[in-house]
Structure 1
């Protein structure tokens, strides 16, 4: 079996409302949808969600990278995963488009084998419970949003902070009071605090029973992360500080965090995500799997990843719930009261139909 065609499309996916984090505000995700075909008539789906702030790539840089990668991918056997890892290394950065290729290849493999992707890896669990994320707004607005999601059945709430320490404490207090004591609360500062402010805030909000805090300080400040961890009563999770297994090794060796967040867009796909998860498991560092602005395509690939690997025990796979419309029309990961599942009788990711009207052609590459 050989790859003989690659199709790329861009999709514009508006958010239900402006989504603000410490790094900026998003109103829309402009993503790339990939369709990769083989000479045996199998098709794999993948998605890239470029982010200038997180993965340091753009739609334009991703397309440029795909131009370079496509000629090396065409003609290859999709089962030769390590060959693809070498190919990805020929282009610097642009991990989101590499993730899209990697996703599509695993979808192909699952379809060829007649199995869900997560079962190819062993299938450790059958379902996951995701949180839902609330962007930065006034404390009152965030509390009201949290209550609405809890009424919809979600039992895990994540809130964005990192703009102003005093206001962040108020946000955390009001959200906790709004959702009560039986709902899990997580916070994410997206690098917004100084080391000193992070330590002060985390000690002041200990009484609100925070499950963990993501990326309190600048992603390059591993020593700062370690200092926060050593002085915080709340577990610290690395997000932007860890893109790949090399980054994971650095923070593990420094004992800088309690947890590490894996994202397919950061890692460049499932294969590298697996390496991070296995490395962290060996080191006794649990993982979360998160997302950026992916549609249900990327979310479904991430759910398969979450189901496959034992060490991924926390889940932040909610971006499709924050969008006004999704490119997936039928199939993919289901959601029910925060619980995401994949049907056991599907092949690949189980995505059956896309909203064609949302797909804007970029280019087709042929063997």
Structure 2
């Protein structure tokens, strides 16, 4: 019946640096879908120009094209809504994810079920890592100790700027946290295949669980070469946005694990398809995030809790943000685990109205 679009700017607790660049705030778009049966649903887009080729402006633009066309559609006809969005605009996956999330929020509220129960209800909690951005090796070791003291059991260490320094980062973090804590690393496409293999040979002894996107997203041949020469499992992230990409990566034998993000896939519906394709190939999935607030993260927690093949999670963006958009409800964190809300829909009951502000667009 009505779609409202909001723009929010959420500050990080500290500058967050990865191989692709540094962020001090997350510029997100919030969508509210109002139905004629009195239920409203909420969703979030966290665009990344370097990963999904989107900016806050392009998200608002895409929603302006899609919004009027979606008015009058039945929220229960998810496949039709997805098809309609794909007909109207190409790509723009985070914009589509915001609508998709809001639709699932509506369906959950109307059926009085949490979204995770609607999607498969496999587990009640999701073990997540916490991410350490790129800093000097000693600063990263300090951050690692701080997070372990807070109860985190898995660290995701960002690398991919300078191979020899990256080895030092991993060594310092491992020495700082001891042998019980799991460490995964993410190069965000920062290495050449040759550099990746050299780094892997040097870090094997530090007991690394996974290596994420060591090489350029489009270089599946390079990714496959790294995988063949690695004793540590290789995870594809930026190489897989869509179900079609997942199939390509599987055919190229380029990954041991696939990282699904709602912002890359276009939402929960297509994320389910990627997880199914990967499961058929006996490849487990991780669910990751961009710069979402607790709204987008909660949607991803429901997805991860629902689907058996989503065996790893990196759902920490909201924990790295100083500004908290969700005031009541949403996924909580306890002992390194994310707990999906038991309430109906996504389970978010109140927002920080000051951060949310007034809608920038309304369609009805």
Q: Structure 1 length normalisation: TM-score? A: 0.98
Query: Is this contact kept in 2: 1:5–1:364, CA < 8 A?
Result: no
Given candidates 71, 90, 98, the residue that maps to 1:92 is 90
Query: 1:80 and 1:343 mapped to 2: Cα distance?
Result: 24
CA distances 1:41-94 after superposition (whole Å, capped 9, x unpaired): 101010000110111101111111101101111000000011112112120111
Deviation at 1:172, TM superposition (A): 0.2
Find the counterpart in structure 1 of residue 76 from structure 2: 79
Displacement after TM superposition at 1:307 (Å): 0.5
Corresponding residue for 2:352? Answer: 355
The superposition leaves residues 206-253 of structure 1 with CA deviations (integer Å, 9 ceiling, x where unpaired) of 000000000000000000000000001111000000001000000001
CA deviation string 1:120-156 (max 9, x = no partner): 1220011011000000000000000000000000000
Mapped pair 1:121 → 2:119: yes
Q: Distance in 1 between matches of 2:263 and 2:274?
A: 13
- What is the alpha-carbon distance in structure 2 between the residues aligned to residue 252 and residue 113 of structure 1? 36
Shift of 1:362: 4.1
Partner SS state of residue 287, structure 2: strand
Q: Matches of residues 244-259 of structure 1 in structure 2 within 5 Å?
A: 244-259=242-257
CA distance, structure 2, for counterparts of residue 109 and residue 201 of structure 1: 47
Q: Gapped runs of 5+ residues in structure 1?
A: none
SS in 2 for 1:205: helix
CA distance in 2, matches of 1:171, 1:11: 34
2:18 pairs with 21, 42, 62, which one?
A: 21
CA distance in 1, matches of 2:359, 2:250: 40
The alignment covers a number of residue pairs equal to 363
In the TM superposition, what is the alpha-carbon distance from 1:184 to its structure 2 partner?
0.3
CA distance in structure 1 between the partners assigned to 2:77 and 2:198 by the alignment: 50
2:242 matched to 1:269?
A: no
Partners of 1:192 and 1:275 in 2: CA distance: 28
The answer (yes or no) to whether the contact 2:7–2:360 under 8 Å persists in 1 is: no
Partner in structure 2 of residue 38 of structure 1: 35
Cα RMSD between the aligned structures? 0.8
Gaps of 5+ in 2: none
What's the CA shift string for 1:326-354, capped at 9, x where partnerless?
1000100011121111233x100110000
- Report the Cα offset of residue 361 of structure 1: 3.0
